[in-house]
């Protein structure tokens, strides 16, 4: 513990952001780096409490008090070594994680938590700047001769691939899209994570000996049979990308789209890549976004950057409280989530139900709504006599995901689905097929990047044990995190 009185003297400081008028005109990263002195001050707030609940709140089991102390003492090289011990990609979590560690921080009982996520990002940024992050290929004599196929290149697949390669196996990552990264590349906007950040890790992993195959839709080319025949183990990291839809009159009208169809196109446009399907654009339109999570917020930020005429964000459930209920500590509080994009404009409404859409010439013009309320049993019902309409030309459905896309690969494997629509696995990440493991959203249902990395690491260890009977891979982060939250 660096400064035993730090938390008494220093208040929490949020990461600095670019001015909202300026940032809404481009797709560059929203936040600015925190000056080193300020990061050190923030790290000094860590009390290094006897039982660091933050460490359990983090699904990766990040050794947070250790690196807070190292940052305070200006020992950044040791800090990144400690951070990399549990997290392959701290820049992904440092930029994108909703930080379930922070509500678990003991300071939260009667103060604001340590800015753990910002300190994590500062450590990895410093490590890249100093040239401390270099490829670490396993020595040739450590190669086991075993071959692993990782299907899907999101954070779960990337973490599993890096771990298994370090264990000496020959790893091939198959990705059906034309670029590596899963939702990091196609889904999450550039203003949250610029794509060179993902490419930098891919370059490192290629130099470590991992083979990446893009435009490789497993089930078609290669076929499931070829994969089973040619590889000793398979990691399924196919995500949970089947979008939840609405079943109401008028849903078929033009101008109503699943959020992901819009977000992927938008990422392609920002990257200067062609969009092959019919273009979905918010420019000049009155946009309505249904849903209140990360996906909805990403649609909002993109719509503003495209210069929409107006944007409304509607949520089915009631408005959560503004202030955290400290009584939930160390679990995730039920509190209104306000992201940087909410400061940029748009109107948010809660307790709104959708009864249908209408419009002339096959195009959506109106959304028909009713107010909703919660019954004492917690059920959401529509309030009679509260009908109203909203004029709109673009409706984006960001109302969740129903599990992995049930394509030919999953049909061939025939692993079944659980109640979340995800692929069932035991506590060792094993499916019912020997040698086939599953990690990330494909196993959990739509979740978070931190969980995807954590599960990719754990599934890799189990695959290593399956192939060799022992594992050199870290068994850290085997614990269960408190207070799960969903994307």
What are 254's two structure tokens?
A: 């033009």
Q: Which is nearer to ligand SF4, 46 or 101 (CB)?
A: 101
Q: Which two tokens stand for residue 308?
A: 């929409």
Among 450, 463, 473, 487, binds ligand SF4 (CB under 6 A): 450
Closest CA to 103 of 320, 337, 292, 318: 337
Give the Cα separation of 226 and 231 in Å (integer).
8
Asked if 397 is part of the footprint of ligand SF4 (rule: CB under 6 A), the reply reads no
Q: Angle, nearest 10°, between helix axes 155-166 and 195-207?
A: 20
Q: Is 391 helix (H, G, I), strand (E, B) or coil?
A: strand
Strands (E), 166-210: 170-174
Shortest separation between residue 53's beta carbon and ligand SF4, angstroms: 12
58 binds, among ligand FAD, ligand SF4, none (CB under 5 to 8 A by kind): ligand SF4
Contacted entry of ligand FAD, ligand SF4, none for residue 156, CB cut-off 5 to 8 Å set by kind: ligand FAD
Instruction: Cis check for the bond before 107: say yes or no (omega within 30 of 0).
Output: no
Q: Is 183 in the site for ligand FAD (CB under 6 A)?
A: yes
CA distances from 61 to 84, 86, 121, 398 (A): 11, 7, 16, 30
Residue span binding ligand FAD (CB under 6 A) among the ranges 92-100, 269-277, 422-430, 462-470: 92-100
Evaluate whether 402 touches 244 at the Cβ level (below 8 Å): yes
The binding track of 37-76 with respect to ligand SF4, each residue x by CB under 6 A or -, is: ---------------------x-x-x-x------------
Instruction: Measure the CA–CA gap between 22 and 36, rounded to whole angstroms.
Output: 24
Q: Does 80 bind ligand SF4 (CB under 6 A)?
A: no
Establish if 59 lies at the interface with ligand FAD (CB under 6 A). no
Candidate ranges 116-124, 181-189, 269-277, 434-442; the one touching ligand SF4 (CB under 6 A): 116-124
Listed ranges 78-86, 272-280, 330-338, 444-452: which one lies at the site for ligand FAD (CB under 6 A) = 444-452
The stretch among 23-31, 306-314, 374-382, 442-450 that binds ligand FAD (CB under 6 A) is 442-450
Which listed range, 96-104, 209-217, 230-238, 421-429, lies at the site for ligand SF4 (CB under 6 A)? 96-104
Find how far residue 128's CA is from the centre of its chain.
22
121-129, 136-144, 233-241, 319-327 -> range binding ligand FAD (CB under 6 A): 233-241
157 belongs to the binding site for ligand FAD (CB under 6 A) = yes
Tokens coding 364 = 């959506």
Applying CB under 6 A, among 6, 57, 103, 154 the residue interacting with ligand FAD is: 154
- Residue 147, both tokens: 């071959």
Nearer to ligand FAD, 216 or 352 (CB): 216
Closer to ligand FAD by Cβ: residue 175 or 393: 175
Q: Which does 120 bind (CB under 5 to 8 A by kind): ligand FAD, ligand SF4, none?
A: ligand SF4
Candidates 388, 416, 8, 440; CA nearest to 183 is 440
Q: How far apart are CA 458 and CA 483, in angstroms?
A: 19
Nearest residue to 274 (alpha-carbon basis) of 283, 286, 285, 265: 265
C-beta of residue 205 within 8 angstroms of C-beta of residue 118: no
Count, residues in the chain: 487
3-state secondary structure of 246: coil
Total of chain residues touching ligand SF4, rule CB under 6 A: 13
For position 218 contacting ligand FAD by CB under 6 A, the verdict is yes
d(CA 360, CA 203): 50
Point out which residues bind ligand FAD (CB under 6 A).
96-98, 151-157, 174-177, 182-183, 187-188, 192, 216-219, 237-239, 241, 263, 294-295, 298, 407, 409, 440-442, 447-450, 452, 487
Point out which residues bind ligand SF4 (CB under 6 A).
58, 60, 62, 64, 93, 97, 99-101, 116-117, 120, 450
């Amino acid at each position: 513990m660096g400064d035993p009185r730090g938390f008494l003297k220093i208040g929490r400081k949020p990461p600095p952001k670019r001015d909202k008028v300026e940032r809404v005109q481009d797709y560059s990263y929203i936040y600015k780096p925190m000056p080193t002195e300020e990061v050190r001050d923030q790290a000094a707030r860590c009390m290094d409490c006897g039982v660091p609940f933050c460490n359990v709140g983090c699904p990766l089991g990040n050794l947070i008090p250790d690196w807070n102390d190292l940052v305070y003492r200006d020992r950044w090289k040791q800090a990144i070594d400690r951070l990399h011990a549990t997290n392959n990609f701290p820049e992904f979590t440092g930029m994108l994680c909703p930080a379930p560690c922070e509500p678990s921080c003991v300071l939260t009982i009667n103060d604001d938590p340590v800015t753990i996520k910002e300190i994590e990002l500062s450590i990895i940024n410093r490590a890249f700047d100093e040239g401390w992050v270099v490829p670490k290929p396993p020595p040739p004599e450590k190669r086991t001769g075993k071959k692993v196929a990782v299907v899907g290149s999101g954070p779960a697949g990337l973490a599993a691939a890096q771990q298994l390669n370090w264990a000496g196996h020959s790893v091939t990552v198959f990705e059906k899209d034309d670029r590596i990264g899963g939702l990091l590349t196609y889904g999450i906007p550039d203003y949250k994570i610029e794509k060179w950040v993902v490419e930098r890790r891919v370059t490192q992993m290629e130099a470590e000996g991992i083979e990446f195959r893009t435009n490789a839709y497993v089930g078609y080319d290669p076929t499931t049979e070829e994969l089973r025949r040619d590889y000793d183990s398979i990691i399924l990291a196919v995500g949970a990308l089947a979008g939840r839809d609405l079943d109401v009159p008028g849903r078929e009208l033009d101008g109503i789209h699943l959020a992901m169809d819009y977000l992927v196109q938008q990422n392609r446009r920002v990257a200067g890549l062609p969009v092959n399907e019919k273009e979905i654009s918010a420019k000049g339109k009155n946009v309505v976004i249904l849903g209140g999570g990360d996906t909805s917020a990403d649609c909002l930020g993109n719509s503003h950057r495209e210069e929409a005429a107006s944007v409304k964000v509607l949520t089915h459930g009631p408005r959560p409280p503004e202030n955290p209920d400290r009584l939930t500590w160390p679990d995730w509080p039920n509190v209104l989530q306000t992201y940087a994009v909410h400061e940029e404009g748009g109107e948010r409404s809660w307790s709104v139900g959708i009864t249908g859409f209408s419009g002339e010439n096959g195009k959506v013009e109106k959304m028909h709504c009713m107010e909703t309320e919660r019954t004492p049993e917690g059920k959401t019902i529509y309030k009679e006599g509260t009908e109203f309409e909203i004029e709109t030309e673009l409706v984006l459905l960001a109302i969740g995901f129903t599990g992995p896309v049930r394509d030919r690969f999953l049909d061939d494997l025939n692993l079944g689905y659980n109640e979340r629509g995800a692929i069932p696995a035991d506590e060792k990440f094993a499916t019912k097929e020997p040698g086939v493991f599953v990690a990330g959203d494909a196993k959990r249902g739509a979740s978070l990047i931190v969980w995807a990395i954590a599960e990719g690491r754990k599934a890799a260890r189990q695959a290593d044990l399956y192939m060799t009977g022992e594992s050199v891979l870290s068994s850290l982060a085997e614990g269960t995190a408190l207070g799960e939250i969903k994307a």
